Amino acid sequence: MSRQHDFDWLRLAYRHMVTIRALDKKAVALQRTGQMRTYPSSLGQEAVGIGIGMAMQDKDVYAPYYRDQATLYLRGVRLSQILQLWGGDERGHLFEGPAARDLPICVPIATQLTQAAGVAVALKSRHEKQAVVTSCGDGATSRGDFYEALNLAGLWQLPLVTVINNNQWAISVPRHLQTGTETLSQKAVAAGIEGIQVDGNDVAAVHDAVSAALEKARSGKGATLIEAVTYRLGDHTTADDATRYRDKQQVSDAWQNEPIKRLQTWLHDNNEWSAGQEQALQKEVQQLIEKAVTDYLAAEAQPVDEFLQFQYEKMTPALLEQQALIKARSEQGRDNS
């Protein structure tokens, strides 16, 4: 654990990680009971998202992928909004605060990287001292969008920080079957930018790496690729069953290094955390999650024909025709139910 962070900072990081894990657990439970759609758990990867979020400044721009609940939370997105998003309600993307500058969650693999590079081009063209952060899984590094974005960032010295959440699995494909490179961070070499590998289960290490990369980007010194090495303790999504392809012993070993217990132990060993503090935190977080769930479930359902309006600035005649068709099918479904 880095000694550059004081205990107040570490306790705050711990609090954030505990909150996100509690939200994650509740989201999976909601999906299992039919109250949420497919959900991508971030179990075991909380240090990556929290480390990024605590390093970013409000003026930065974030281009998230689908496992970035933790960073979105620190950007000011309400916990109930995160549930709303995975409940299929696009109104969850009506971000406020710092997140109002950010892009929506990206589900297609790696397309957020080219979009982030585009935002970085705009910032540089306007001579704005800001930076863009984007993130992706290890599987995304096998996609063309990944290489295209990094190539442009290197060529034009863009203010772009790309964080790879290397959780070892692209759904059921293990890391070693995806690429011949020894590390994912070394892919930065081909783009002419700096590549860094950090311990993704150490929130302070992630924070330090992202902070340094952001400072470099804002000062006009170009892009950085950061590989945060962690492990996906849960399924890829609630539509997946990782027990079908993953060794039990490997998962059991990974639990021994998971980020939350690791930080809690470190704080406790330094007499900076107690059983009483843990009990109080768990009670506080539970109340936060219960409030978020209540707000999520109380929200009036979004009309099914509205989602196209969240995808396009202008509704063309063809889109309006599709919208009418969707609405008619929805009403027909209700009549037949």
Q: What is the pLDDT of residue 199?
A: 98
Q: Which residues contact 293 (CB under 8 A, 6 or more apart)?
A: 26, 30, 80, 83
CA–chain centroid gap for 153, Å, is 21
Residue 97, both tokens? 């605060």
Nearest in space to 163 (alpha carbons), one of 215, 228, 222: 228
- Whether residue 235 sits in one domain with residue 155: yes
Predicted local distance difference test score (pLDDT) of residue 59: 96
- The closest alpha carbon to 71, from 143, 134, 8, 14, belongs to 134
Within 10 Å of residue 334's Cβ, how many Cβ atoms? 8
Assess whether 242 and 313 both reside in one domain.
no
| Structural domain containing residue 140 | 3-302
pLDDT at 4: 62
Q: Indicate whether 203 and 327 sit together in one domain.
A: no
Tell me what pLDDT residue 332 has: 80
Residues 192, 132, single domain; the answer is: yes
pTM of the model: 0.94
Q: What is the pLDDT of residue 305?
A: 77
Count of structural domains within the chain:
2
Q: Does residue 225 sit in the same domain as residue 273?
A: yes
Distance CA 198, CA 17 (A): 18
**136 touches 167 (CB < 8 A):** no
Q: Which of 192, 114, 170, 189 is nearest to 146 (CA)?
A: 114
Query: What 3 state SS string does 93-141 have?
Result: HCCCHHHHHCCCCECCCCHHHHHHHHHHHHHHHCCCCCCEEEEEEHHHH
Same domain, 101 and 231: yes
Looking at residue 304, its pLDDT comes to 79
Do 285 and 323 have their domain in common? no
User: Domain with 98 in it: what CATH number?
Assistant: 3.40.50.970
**249 and 298 share a domain?**
yes
- Alpha-helical runs (H) found in the chain: 7-32, 46-55, 69-74, 79-86, 111-125, 144-155, 188-191, 203-218, 248-255, 259-269, 275-298, 317-336
Instruction: Count Cα neighbours of 149 within 13 Å in the Cβ-side half-sphere.
Output: 32
79 lies in the same domain as 228: yes
Q: What does pLDDT average to in each consecutive run of 10 residues of the chain (337 residues)?
A: 77 98 98 96 98 98 97 98 94 94 94 98 96 98 97 98 97 95 97 98 98 98 98 97 96 97 97 97 98 96 82 90 88 69
- Tell whether 171 and 261 lie within a shared domain: yes
User: Both 176 and 325 in a single domain?
Assistant: no
Based on the fold, state whether residues 214 and 255 are members of the same structural domain: yes
Catalytic residue annotation: 232, 236, 245
